[in-house]
């Protein structure tokens, strides 16, 4: 699904990523690498192969858009370093794109490790009149891209049926990204009159009426 913000074109992908066409930038939030290994370490029964799902998803969306730059909008890793870091090192060395991390509250791995991989780290990033952060931020004169909330919405069907879907949640000056990573969960949003919701299905992204 394509949307236009400040005369710039963005393609919203069903993975939860968005591609900024003019800048050739891929925007992704809340991958939470290492979470599967963290769960398995604490005895939660998640299949070992699930560790690789996020990397498969990343490669798939890179093949779709072939960006020049990847910007992670925070919470790239879930917590402390574990064996998934080695997979990330291997993955990053296989790709030529510039990688930028806008720090999130879960990003506690030392910056020195990222520096060794030529990953640039910022607390926030300004590109033209767009402000890229992890936490939702309102700043006059800027449109904010952010994550953190893992937005989702419950759609009510006939009778008492409910359908829960992750979504891009757009406010007048802000777009909150869904969590890209597996096993991250959603926080359900309550849209108001001026908000827009772009839900994610397995095949597409589409706007739904919320009023």
Structure tokens at 11: 């393609």
* Strand boundaries in 43-200, DSSP class E: 69-72, 98-102, 120-122, 125-127, 130-132, 143-146, 151-156, 162-171, 174-176, 187-188, 196-200
Structure tokens at 66: 């072939």
Tokens 């359900």 locate to 188
- Interstrand relation of 18-20 and 25-28 (parallel, antiparallel or unpaired): antiparallel
| Integer-rounded Cα radius of gyration of the chain | 17
Q: Is residue 11 part of a domain?
A: yes
DSSP annotation of 15:
T
Q: Determine the Cα–Cα distance for residues 126 and 42; give it in Å rounded to an integer.
A: 39
- Distance of alpha carbon 101 from the chain centroid: 11
At 115, which CATH number?
3.60.21
Tell me the torsion sign for CA atoms 32, 38, 42, 46: positive
In terms of residue numbers, what domain contains 55?
2-147
Q: Is residue 209 part of a domain?
A: no
Output the CA angle 152-32-94, nearest 5 degrees: 120
Compute the average pLDDT of residues 144-169: 85
Checking if the pLDDT of 153 tops 60, the result is yes
Q: What is the pLDDT of residue 104?
A: 94
Checking if the pLDDT of 44 tops 60, the result is no
Lowest mean pLDDT segment, chosen from 60-64, 101-105, 144-148, 178-182: 178-182
Q: Is residue 35 part of a domain?
A: yes
Between 40 and 24, name the one with better pLDDT.
24
Q: Is residue 191 part of a domain?
A: no
Between 188 and 11, name the one with better pLDDT.
11
Q: What band does 133 get if pLDDT is binned at 50, 70 and 90?
A: very high
* Residue range 101-132, pLDDT digits in tens: 999 998 899 999 999 999 999 999 999 999 99
Number of domains in the chain: 1
Q: Closest Cα to residue 125, out of 16, 15, 10, 25? A: 25
Q: Is residue 89 part of a domain?
A: yes
Q: Is residue 157 part of a domain?
A: no
Tokens 């640039």 locate to 120
Cβ partners under 8 Å of residue 125, min gap 6:
71, 100, 102, 131, 132, 133
Q: Is residue 184 part of a domain?
A: no
Q: Closest Cα to residue 76, out of 117, 41, 44, 129? A: 117
Q: Is residue 30 part of a domain?
A: yes
């Amino acid at each position: 699904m394509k949307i236009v913000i400040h005369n710039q074109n963005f393609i919203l992908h069903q993975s939860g990523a968005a591609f900024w066409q003019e800048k050739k930038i891929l925007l992704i939030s809340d991958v939470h690498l290492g979470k599967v290994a963290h769960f398995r370490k604490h005895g939660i029964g998640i299949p070992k192969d699930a560790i690789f799902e996020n990397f498969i998803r990343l490669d798939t969306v890179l093949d779709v858009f072939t960006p020049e730059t990847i910007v992670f909008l925070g919470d790239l890793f879930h917590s402390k370093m574990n064996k998934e870091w080695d997979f990330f090192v291997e993955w990053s060395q296989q790709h030529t794109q510039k990688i930028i991390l806008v720090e999130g509250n879960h990003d506690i791995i030392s910056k020195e490790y990222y520096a060794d991989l030529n990953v640039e780290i910022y607390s926030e990033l300004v590109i033209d009149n767009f402000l890229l952060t992890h936490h939702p931020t309102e700043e006059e004169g800027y449109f904010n891209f952010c994550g953190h909330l893992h937005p989702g919405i419950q759609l009510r069907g006939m009778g008492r049926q409910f359908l829960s879907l992750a979504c891009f949640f757009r406010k007048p000056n802000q777009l909150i990204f869904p969590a890209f990573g597996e096993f991250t969960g959603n926080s359900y949003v309550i849209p108001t009159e001026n908000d827009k919701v772009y839900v994610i299905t397995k095949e597409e992204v589409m706007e739904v009426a919320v009023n």
